[in-house]
Amino acid sequence: MARIELTVDGAQVSDDVEPRMLLVQYLREKLGKTGTVIGCDTSNCGACTVHLDGRSVKSCNVLAVQANGHEVTTIEGLAEPGSLHAMQEAFHECHALQCGFCTPGMIMQSVDLLNDNPNPSEDEIRNGLEGNLCRCTGYHNIVRAVQAAAAAGATTAQPAAEKVEA
Amino acid sequence: MTATQDAPASVTEIGRDRRRKEDQRLITGRTRWTDNIQLPGMLHMAMVRSPFAHAKITAIDTSAAKAATNVVAVYTGKDLDESAGVLINAWAITTDQVAPDHPPIPADRVSFAGEIVAVVVARTPAEARDAAELVDVDYEELPAALDLKEAAEDKVLAHPDLGTNKSALWVFDSGEAGTGGNVEDAISKARTDGILIEREYRQQRLIPAFMEPRSVVVDPTGEQLTMWSATQIPHILRFALAATTGVPESKIRVIAPDVGGGFGGKLQVTPEEWTAWWVARQVHKPVKYTETRSESLMAAHHGRDQWQKLTLAAEKDGSVTGLKVELLADLGSHVAIVGGGVPVLGAFMFNSIYKFPAYHFACQTVLTNKTWTDAYRGAGRPEATYAIERLMDELAVELGVDPLEVREKNWIKHEEFPFTTVAGLEYDSGNYEEATAKAKANFGYDELRAEQKRRRDENDPVQLGIGVSTFTEMCGLAPSRVLGQLNYGAGGWEHASVRMLPTGTVEVVTGASAHGQGHETAFSQIVADRLGVRFEDVEILHGDTQVSHKGLDTYGSRSLVVGGEALVKAADKVIEKAKPIAAHMLEANVDDIEFKEGRLGVRGTDQGVALAEVAMAAFAAHDLPDGVEPTLDSDATYDPVNFNFPHGTHLCAVEVDTETGQVKMRKYTCVDDIGNVINPLIVAGQVHGGLMQGIAQALFEEAVHDESGTLVSASFVDYLVPTAADTISFDVDHNTTPSLTNTLGTKGVGEAGTIASTPAVVNAVVDAVRAFGVSDIQMPCTPERVWRAIHAGDAGGADPTTGGAAPHFDESTGHEGQTDRTDGAGQ
Ligand code: FES
Ligand code: FES
């Protein structure tokens, strides 16, 4: 067991974890952050995407211990409770989700994409989302949503103010 | 008394592009996936699975696993008793269908690689998985029936006890059925004095690959045993548990919470569910099982997998005179819940939109030692549409005419509806001419044909191909009577309840069970219009048998056309119940009460009351007319008399690099006729996603097994679900002829895109390289296959795919190469 301390969605948390525990397992099983989901076992689907110090990572590809001392933002902390991040808004407006299983990861990756490139072309959006699979939407409306969010000037993740008792 | 409330705005909800009600929880991560559920004392299961396609289990040593930390129990097939039940097939397509028994865990023999041989129960998922590694199984490998054609010849038996791999032969003949002529006559005439097209096409094996892995939780501690499952079919699941495990149906509650996609892949009763059900009753504690992606790809049912032998007979002028279809369909190791019924659903669709005078269909279903197969988006109809739309292109080539011209020559003209087809179905409405004209205009058909000619003339290394697919499908599974004639084990009705709450909001219960389709939004729109209440005031409840006690769930594009109609009927009953109470309140004659836009008024006056007021009056029940029940709540169960038949014209342009075999989508245009549209936004989404899955079959996906029967494509590294970078945006439009088989005039849309797009894409690829002497390329049309076809001048894709079905031919990865999509994934 190893002791880790980190910030998740604005809240300080600390736990003893097995060294092999994945960040996504830590988020789901220890913190109850079930908004972040697991879609594969080969780091191909992107369903588990979160931000680590503001950059997107696949949380199934990071050990919980590697997040020690860092700051993690999940879909649950992307906006303050009761409000939506511009990217969440855009996904809703553009009908960029159906079953919604890929959606948390897709939104987190899209935010990262615009942070890197506030004015992406359709090709740049498609390439930037290549690591995130969606089986429902055919990506058509996801591309629209990212374009809409870009037009609305959504570039940075709003720091989460949520206070969580871990 | 007069109305005190404002009448609701008279904007109609039907047809509005309402944003979805279900989005809020999904975009913020407040979701209820089955795997999110945690219950006090919950235990976790991990499966031990067979690495062999066919083997005897000679011994299983569970002692080390049982001794591992925090392991509670380990069970094998030998431990199961009668209360474990069996997995059922609900559709024996013939009365003499051969089917092996299907216990959740076999005791002595495994029949596909991935079958469960033991289950470990532990306090954490990690401990269960670790202990599963400690289970020691001795196998004696048996020869496996893997190749479909060889299996059909009984060379190796998938289940030696059965004595054959042949499960059922299902035949339809228009001569015998009296719906048309004799196909053999048409063929012999065409052989001497007409055109005969004979082809064999392969429908490769696909994997539904819903994004949420299957998960099941069973809680045996309550008065009712509760199962949460990532399923499309909570009601059918409950029925099957009761029917096979000895637990009374009234003691079973099944909940399908948020379900992350299905596409037919979660239309199943599974060994994993049955195992969890049994284990929970042994350990008397809640248990959970969530599969890994590789388990999902290996053990959740697959789709398609057919060989299609096709003979099309035509006059010299291109008028088709007959079609003969002989199918071999791979069932895999067991006959799944719909199983052999999937190709039979295609039996009525090979004749598609055309007026063929003679038709013969025969399908032999075959058992093999591969993963079982069942419904995957379209279920039988994509296979049929692919076959006929590929053949119509071949006929056009034979005639030297445009592929749309030969289709028009044979299709049903709009003034000929209703039209009874050679397969015996009555098509109610459609307009193929209009949809096609619109699609051609949107696509820029003539311009693209001109560009194609230019590139051909210039010997451009990048050739342009244009593919056509004019599809139709039957959807809305239902008509119970028809399903009965087909020997299907259940009906096809759907149920709805409308509850008028005293404070003016409306609770609607549906037996349909959504998993991404947006029922909560579209159904709210229907009820809001029908009852004249606000969209926001309607709450749609579904997916829990304790709330929605009656239903037949969601598949076969049935939710709107069957479930939506049940809603309409229930809502109409509410209004009828409200009328005598309103008449009493208004001191009027009940015959003078009319309902309009949420108000019950006295005809010819401005006297009236809002429906909500009547609901309140019924709730208080202080002053109701004699003999009137104090409720407006109403139920309806709707069973349609016919299917409905969406159709459309799909046009696809691809660029094929003849030097690398690379296929690039250039443009995709479709004009679908799905009748009246409730929510255009949701419809467009269904079309986009459907198109992508059909395109994926054409270009990317294939479940590949090695020669020992191991699934090679058992991860997303090798099973190539397309990414955003693999495709383009679509040009989606509609042409509307309302369905005449339901009052809303709607037709199904969930499967249309998938059914139509596969042949459009393959026709385009073949069209691009036809000048090289190519007349077919086996799916998926990988760069390797396309390149080989060009260079061999034949149907280059005849070899089975080796390694992964690589979508991107890249010299650096070679012919066996696969795209590793972890690159650029934000790591
Ligand atoms: S779960 Fe992390 S990439 Fe699939
Ligand atoms: S919305 Fe279902 S997988 Fe993307």
CA B755 to ligand 2 center in whole angstroms: 20
Where does the pLDDT of residue B1 fall: very low under 50, low under 70, confident under 90, or very high at 90 and above?
Answer: very low
Measured at the alpha carbon of residue B779, what is the angle toward residues B777 and B784, in degrees to the nearest 5?
65
Q: Does the CB atom of residue A23 touch ligand 1 within 6 A? A: no
Give the model confidence (pLDDT) of B598-611 as tens digits: 999 999 999 999 99
Q: What is the mean pLDDT of residues B664-685?
A: 94
For residue B590, name the pLDDT band (cuts at 50, 70, 90): very high
DSSP E strand stretches across B373-476 = 419-420, 426-427, 462-472
Residues of A in contact with B22 (CB under 8 A): 100
- Binding pocket residue ranges, ligand 2, CB within 6 Å: A 97-103, 134-137; B 211, 261, 516
Tell whether the torsion through CA atoms of A109, A111, A112 and A118 is positive or negative: positive
With the C-alpha atoms ordered B739, B743, B748, B749, is the resulting torsion angle positive or negative?
positive
For B279-315, give one letter per residue: b (16+ CB within 10 A) or e.
Answer: bbbbbebbbbbbbbbbbbbbbbbbbbbbbbebbbbbe
Q: How far is CA B589 from CA A57, B353, B458, B592, B597, in A?
A: 69, 51, 82, 5, 20
pTM (predicted TM-score)? 0.93
pLDDT at B494 over 90: no
| B737: its two tokens | 């002829």
Write the CA distances from B293 to B120, B342, B709, integer angstroms.
19, 25, 19
What is the predicted pLDDT for the residue at B554?
Answer: 79
A60 Cβ closer than 6 Å to some ligand 1 atom: yes
Contact status, residue B46 vs residue B38, Cβ threshold 8 Å: no
Interface of A with B in 19-78 (CB under 8 A): 21, 28, 32-47, 49, 55-58, 61, 74-76
Q: Give the span between the Cα atoms of B529 and B464, in whole angstroms.
A: 48
Per-residue model confidence (pLDDT) at position B10 = 52
Cβ-nearest to B293 among A42, A142, A143? A42
> A28 CB under 6 A from ligand 1?
no
Average pLDDT of chain B, as a whole number: 92
The pair of structure tokens assigned to B342 is 């999937």
Q: Is the pLDDT of residue B814 over 50?
A: no
Which chain B positions have a beta carbon within 8 Å of A128's beta carbon?
824
- Residue in B with minimal Cα distance to A58: B827
The CA distance from B726 to B724, in Å, is 6
Question: Span B554-565, mean pLDDT?
Answer: 80
User: In this complex, is the C-beta atom of A130 within 8 Å of any C-beta atom belonging to chain B?
Assistant: yes
Same fold, B3-31+493-638 and B35-142+208-299: no
What pLDDT is stored for residue B516 in this prediction? Answer: 78
- The residues, any chain, with a CB within 8 Å of residue B678's CB and separated by 6 or more, are B14, B15, B522, B525, B526, B560, B564, B744, B746
The CATH code that applies to domain B3-31+493-638 is 3.30.365.10
At B11, the pLDDT band (50, 70, 90 cuts) reads low
Which one-letter amino acid corresponds to residue B267? L
Atom number, ligand 2, closest to the C-alpha of residue A97: 1
Query: Could you give all domains of chain A from N- to C-terminal order, each with its CATH number?
Result: 2-77 (3.10.20.30), 86-165 (1.10.150.120)
pLDDT of residue B519: 87
Prior bond of B418 cis (ω within 30°): yes
Ligand found nearest the CA of B692: 2
Q: What pLDDT, on a 0 to 100 scale, did the predictor assign at position B6?
A: 44
**Ligand located closest to A39 CA:** 1
Length of chain A: 166
Kindly state the average pLDDT of the residues B125-131: 97
Q: What is the model's pLDDT at position B284?
A: 97
Average pLDDT (A16-24) is 97
**Token pair belonging to B611:** 């429906």
Whether chain B has a CB inside 8 Å of the CB on A9: the answer is no
- Give the mean model confidence (pLDDT) for residues B499-509: 94
CATH for B35-142+208-299? 3.90.1170.50
Of B477 and B339, the one with more pLDDT: B339
* Chain A closest-CA separation from residue B300 CA (Å): 14
Residue B798 is predicted with a pLDDT of 46
Q: Coil, helix or strand for B464?
A: strand
Judged by CB atoms closer than 8 Å, whether chains meet at B682 and A95 is answered as yes
pLDDT score at B457: 96
What ipTM score was computed for the predicted complex, to two decimals?
0.93
Mean pLDDT across B454-459: 96
- Give the mean pLDDT of B83-102: 95
Question: Of the candidates B467, B461, B469, B466, which has an alpha carbon nearest to the alpha carbon of residue B772?
Answer: B461
Residue B794 has what pLDDT?
53
Q: What pLDDT, in 10s, does the model give residues B375-417? A: 999 999 999 999 999 999 999 999 999 999 999 999 999 999 9
Task: Give residue B666's pLDDT.
Answer: 97
Q: Closest by alpha carbon to B427, among B172, B616, B154, B643?
A: B643
Write the pLDDT tens digit of every residue in B140-164.
Answer: 999 999 999 999 999 999 999 999 9
Nearest CB among B209, B518, B826 relative to A112 is that of B826
Query: How confident is the prediction for chain A on average, in pLDDT?
Result: 93
Residue B129 CB coordination number (10 Å): 16
* C-alpha B816: how far from chain center: 31
Q: Do A58 and B263 touch (CB under 8 A)?
A: no
* CA separation for the pair B524, B519 (Å, rounded): 8
C-beta atoms of B826 and A58 within 8 A: yes
Mean pLDDT score, A104-113 = 98
Average pLDDT score over residue span B619-639: 93
Whether residue B535 has pLDDT greater than 60: yes
pLDDT(A158) > 70: no
Task: Flag whether pLDDT at B641 surpasses 90.
Answer: no
Q: Domain spanning B412-416+426-474+643-798 has what CATH number?
A: 3.30.365.10
**Exposed/middle/buried for residue B550 (C-beta within 10 Å: 0-12, 13-18, 19+):** middle
CB < 8 Å from B in window 145-164 of A: none
Between CA B271 and CA B213 the distance in angstroms is 15
Among B18, B19, B28, B292, pick the best mutation site for testing chain A contact (most A Cβ within 10 A): B28
Show me where the domains of chain B are located: 3-31+493-638, 35-142+208-299, 412-416+426-474+643-798
Q: What is the pLDDT of residue B742?
A: 84
Q: Please, where are the H alpha helices in B19-83?
A: 23-28, 63-67
Return the SS3 of B449: helix
Chain A touched by B265 (CB under 8 Å): no
